[in-house]
C-alpha cells in the first residue's frame, strides 16, 4: 500500500509538471496535495514497516516528537489544500469570467507558501505543548505512530489550559476549513442547478466529485480518530481509523483524481509514451554503439 501510494502520487506530480496543458490552478493544487500526501504517509508508514519486520515497537522521545511534528505539518497542509481546492472550484463555476484574474499563478503560489508557513507554526505549537506538559520515559501508545491526541493525554500536570488551547486550535484548523468547504460547495450546487442543460450540469458536477470524495474520506476518518480518542473508545477502533486516513486515503487519492479525469489520463499516456520512446531510443543507440565498438 505504501509503494502504491508513492507511485500513484509521484505519477500525478510527473503528469502535472510535464504537461503544459495541466499548468492551471486546479492541477497546481492537486500536485501540491500529492506532495503533501507523500510526506504525510512517509512520516508514519516506514517506521511501522520496520517495527513489523524487526518486532521492535520502541521509539525514542526525540524520534516521537519529530514524527509527530512532521505528521502535523503534512496533515495541516492536506487540510488547507483541500479547502483552497474547494474555493478554486467555487470561483471556476460561479465566477468563470474572473477566474484567471482571481486564481492567477502568483496568488496560487503565495497561498501554497502561506499554507506551508501556517502548517509549520501549527506543528511547532503542538510539538512544544507536548514537550512541555509530558514527562515520561516508558509508555505504551495504542497506535502505530505517535498520535498527538494520545500524547496530550500523557500529562503530569493540570491540563485545563492546554485542553482549551487544543480545542481552539482544533476549531481554527478543523471547523473553519470544513465550514469554508461546505460554504463553497453550497454555492457551487446552487449555481449548477441553475444550468439549463443536463450535460452542462453533469460536467460541472464531475469536476467536483473527485474532490468531494477525498474530502469525505479525509475528514470522516480524521474526525473518527479524534472523536474516538475523546470518547475513550476502544484503541483498536482508533488505530483502524488512523490507518484509513494516514495510509488508505493518500493511496486512493491518485485513483480518485485520475480515473474520471480525462486530462490526467491523457497526460499519463503521453508521459508513458515519451518514457517508452526515450528508453527504446537509448537502447537502440546503445546497441549501435556496441556493434561499432565490436
Looking at 17-21, 246-250, 286-290, which range is the least confident one? Answer: 286-290
| Percent of the chain surpassing pLDDT 90 | 19
- pLDDT of 38 over the 90 cut: yes
CA–CA gap between residue 74 and residue 38 (Å, rounded): 9
User: Does the structure show a pLDDT above 80 at 152?
Assistant: no
pLDDT band, very low/low/confident/very high, at 35 (cuts 50, 70, 90): very high
- Tell me which of 131 and 156 has the higher pLDDT: 131
pTM above the 0.95 mark? Answer: no
Whether the Cβ atoms of residue 19 and residue 274 lie closer than 8 Å to each other: no
Question: 228 CB contacts (<8 Å, ≥6 apart)?
Answer: 234, 237, 238, 241
Residue 257: which pLDDT band, with cuts at 50, 70 and 90? confident
Cell numbers found for residue 153: 493525554
User: For residue 245, what is the DSSP state?
Assistant: I
Mean pLDDT of all residues in 165-184: 78
Of 88, 116, 113, 122, the residue nearest 102 (C-alpha): 88
Range with lowest mean pLDDT among 35-49, 106-120, 192-206, 260-274: 192-206
Candidate ranges 114-128, 196-210, 259-273; pick with highest mean pLDDT:
114-128
pLDDT at 28: 93
Q: Which three cell numbers stand for residue 108?
A: 496560487
pLDDT, average across residues 21-36: 90
Angle at 90 (CA atoms; ends 27, 40), nearest 5 degrees: 45
**Quick one: pLDDT at residue 32?**
93
Q: How many CB atoms lie within 10 A of CB 258?
A: 20
Q: Which cell numbers in the block locate residue 6? A: 508513492
The confidence score (pLDDT) of residue 59 equals: 87
Local confidence band at 116 (pLDDT 50, 70, 90 cut-offs): very high
Would you place residue 39 in the very low, low, confident or very high pLDDT band (cuts 50, 70, 90)?
Answer: very high
Is pLDDT at 243 greater than 90 in this prediction?
no
Instruction: Looking at mean pLDDT, say which of 10-24, 149-163, 235-249 comes out highest.
Output: 10-24
Fill in the DSSP letter of residue 197.
S
Summary mean pLDDT of the chain: 81
Q: What count of other Cβ atoms lies within 10 Å of the Cβ of residue 91?
A: 18
Q: Looking at per-residue confidence, does 92 or 209 come out higher?
A: 92
Rounded Cα distance between 119 and 179, Å, is 18
Q: What is the pLDDT of residue 230?
A: 55
Confidence of residue 166 (pLDDT cuts 50, 70, 90): low
Instruction: Give residue 196's pLDDT.
Output: 75
**Residue 162, all three cell numbers:** 492546554
225: Cβ contacts below 8 Å, ≥ 6 apart: 147, 149, 238, 241, 242, 245
Q: What percent of the chain has pLDDT over 70?
A: 80
57: pLDDT strictly greater than 60: yes
From the CB of residue 256, how many other CB atoms can be counted at a distance below 10 Å?
A: 18
Dump the DSSP string for 136-160: -SS---SSSS--HHHHTTS-SS--H
What are the CA-CA distances from residue 70 to residues 116, 126, 174, 175, 252 (Å)?
Answer: 12, 11, 18, 22, 21
Can you give the pLDDT at residue 114?
93
> What does the pLDDT look like over 220-231, one tens digit per residue?
777 766 665 555
First to last CA, the chain: 46
Amino acid at each position: 500500500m505504501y509503494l502504491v501510494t508513492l507511485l500513484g502520487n509521484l505519477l500525478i506530480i510527473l503528469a502535472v509538471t510535464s504537461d503544459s496543458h495541466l499548468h492551471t490552478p486546479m492541477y497546481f493544487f492537486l500536485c501540491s496535495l500529492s506532495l503533501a500526501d507523500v510526506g504525510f504517509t512517509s512520516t508514519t508508514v516506514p517506521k511501522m514497516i520496520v517495527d513489523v519486520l524487526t518486532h521492535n515497537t520502541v521509539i525514542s522521545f526525540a524520534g516521537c516528537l519529530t514524527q509527530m511534528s512532521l505528521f502535523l505539518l503534512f496533515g495541516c497542509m492536506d487540510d488547507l489544500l483541500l479547502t483552497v481546492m474547494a474555493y478554486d472550484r467555487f470561483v471556476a463555476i460561479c465566477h468563470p469570467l474572473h477566474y484567471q484574474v482571481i486564481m492567477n499563478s502568483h496568488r496560487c503560489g503565495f497561498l501554497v507558501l502561506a499554507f506551508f508557513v501556517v502548517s509549520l507554526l501549527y506543528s511547532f505549537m503542538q510539538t512544544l505543548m507536548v514537550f512541555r506538559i509530558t514527562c515520561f520515559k516508558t509508555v505504551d501508545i495504542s497506535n502505530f505512530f505517535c498520535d498527538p491526541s494520545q500524547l496530550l493525554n500523557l500529562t503530569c500536570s493540570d491540563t485545563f489550559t492546554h485542553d482549551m488551547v487544543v480545542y481552539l486550535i482544533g476549531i481554527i484548523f478543523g471547523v473553519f476549513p470544513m465550514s469554508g468547504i461546505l460554504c463553497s460547495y453550497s454555492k457551487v450546487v446552487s449555481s449548477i442547478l441553475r444550468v439549463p442543460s443536463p450535460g452542462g450540469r453533469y460536467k460541472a458536477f464531475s469536476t467536483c466529485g473527485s474532490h468531494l470524495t477525498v474530502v469525505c474520506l479525509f475528514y470522516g476518518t480524521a474526525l473518527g480518530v479524534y472523536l474516538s480518542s475523546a470518547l475513550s473508545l476502544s484503541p483498536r477502533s482508533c488505530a483502524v481509523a488512523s490507518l484509513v486516513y494516514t495510509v488508505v486515503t493518500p493511496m486512493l487519492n491518485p485513483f480518485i483524481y485520475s480515473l474520471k479525469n480525462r486530462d490526467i489520463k491523457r497526460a499519463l499516456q503521453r508521459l508513458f509514451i515519451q518514457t517508452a520512446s526515450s528508453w527504446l531510443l537509448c537502447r537502440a543507440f546503445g546497441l549501435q554503439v556496441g556493434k561499432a565498438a565490436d
